[in-house]
Structure 1
Amino acid sequence: MDFDSILDQATLAETTVALCLNGRLRAEYERVKNAVDERAAQAESSSLPGDDRLASRGPAPDPDQPELDRLVEEMRRHTVEFTLRALPRPEWTKLFADNTPRTDRQTGKRDPRDGLGVNVETFFPALVKASIVSPELTGNRWTRLYDSLSDAQFDKLATAAWNLNRVDDDVPFSLTSSPSRRNSAGS
């Protein structure tokens, strides 16, 4: 494929992040899952080592497994898959310029929290908002989403947005691992 054809089809990198936005369901799932895991560990530790030829069936299903399965399905209904896209370089540069690091007025030193070269309190919300392409965050949707995210959920989105823009995502290239190279070498 020639350069112009490749350039015509060029797109910015994308990734997805799935988040369950119902914290109560997540907490209930964790409670039930812990109980199931605890019973499984107890059953495993209470089984005697030795001849198991007479054991014709596996362990009995946990009585809470149907509830756990129901919670998983309910969590899926409350999970949103966010699609994030890298920003074009001019937009990325502007985002940096618009969110300069804070400095101490008395000493003139950069705020240690802003070690990445930006005001992290303003930069990351702006980055995440600008990077999410689906679902559409028009009107007050961004504010509603931002206010409903836990710090961990926001960090997942912020890390994904940062990585799209700052981590090399090109396809690894190695002549030794290239299938056509191996075939032509007689491998």
Structure 2
Amino acid sequence: MDFDSILDQATLAETTVPLCLNGRLRAEYERLKTAIDERSAQAEAGGLPGDDRLASRGPTPDPDQPELDRLAEEMRRHTVEFTLRALPRPEWTKLFADHSPRTDRQTGKRDPRDGLGVNSTTFFPELVRASIVSPELSGNRWAKLYDRISDAQFDKLATAAWNLNRADDDIPFSLTSSPDRRNSDGS
């Protein structure tokens, strides 16, 4: 394929970030999963001291496993796949320039929270909002989402948006997989 054809088909990098937007379900799932894991570990360790009832039986499913499966399915129904797209270079450059890092007025040193070269408090909300292409988050929807997600969930979105724009996403070059690789004898 020639360069012009490749250039005509060029698109910005995209990724998806799934987030379960029902924190109550997540908490119930984690509580039940922990209880099941503890019982499983106890059974693998031989159960209670002096209790050999499990010695003659094979592994039995945990009685709470159907409830855990139900919670997982309900969580899937409350999970939204956010599609994020890298920003065009001019938009990225402007966003970066508009959010310069803070400096301490007395010492003139950069605020340690701004080690990436931007004001992390103002930059990342704008980056995330500008990067999300699906679902559409115009107007009130963005404010509502921003107010209802946890810091950890926001960090997943922010990390994905940052990586789309700053991480190397090209296919790594490898001599062993190159179709143009020549043998040592030149053939």
Gaps of 5+ in 1: 48-53
Matching residue of 2:176? 176
Could you tell me which amino acid in structure 2 is paired with residue 119 of structure 1? N
1:143 maps to 2:158: no
Could you tell me which amino acid in structure 2 is paired with residue 19 of structure 1? L
Q: Could you state the TM-score of these two structures normalised by the residue count of structure 2?
A: 0.89
* 1:29-81 deviation digits (Å, cap 9, x = unpaired): 0010011111111111117xxxxxx96x7311110001000000000000000
* 1:121-179 deviation digits (Å, cap 9, x = unpaired): 0000000000000000012011111111111111111000000000000011112123x
Matching residue of 2:166? 166
User: Shift of residue 117 of structure 1?
Assistant: 1.2
Runs of 4+ with >4 A deviation: none
Q: Secondary structure at the match of 1:15?
A: strand
Matching residue of 1:25? 25
Q: Distance in 2 between matches of 1:175 and 1:106?
A: 54
Q: Secondary structure at the match of 1:176?
A: helix
Q: Distance in 2 between matches of 1:60 and 1:27?
A: 25
Q: Secondary structure at the match of 2:84?
A: strand
Matched ranges for 1:33-48 at <5 A: 33-46=33-46
User: Shift of residue 181 of structure 1?
Assistant: 4.8
Q: Distance in 2 between matches of 1:58 and 1:171?
A: 47
Q: Distance in 2 between matches of 1:43 and 1:157?
A: 39
Matching residue of 1:122? 122
RMSD across aligned positions (CA): 1.9
Matched ranges for 1:65-144 at <5 A: 65-144=65-144
User: Shift of residue 104 of structure 1?
Assistant: 2.2
* 1:87-107 deviation digits (Å, cap 9, x = unpaired): 000000000111111122333
Q: Distance in 1 between matches of 2:163 and 2:21?
A: 23
Q: Distance in 2 between matches of 1:62 and 1:111?
A: 51
Could you tell me which amino acid in structure 1 is paired with residue 124 of structure 2? F
Q: Could you state the TM-score of these two structures normalised by the residue count of structure 1?
A: 0.89
Matching residue of 1:11? 11
The percentage of counterpart residues that share the same residue type is: 84
Could you tell me which amino acid in structure 1 is paired with residue 111 of structure 2? D
Q: Secondary structure at the match of 2:175?
A: coil
Q: Distance in 1 between matches of 2:164 and 2:131?
A: 9
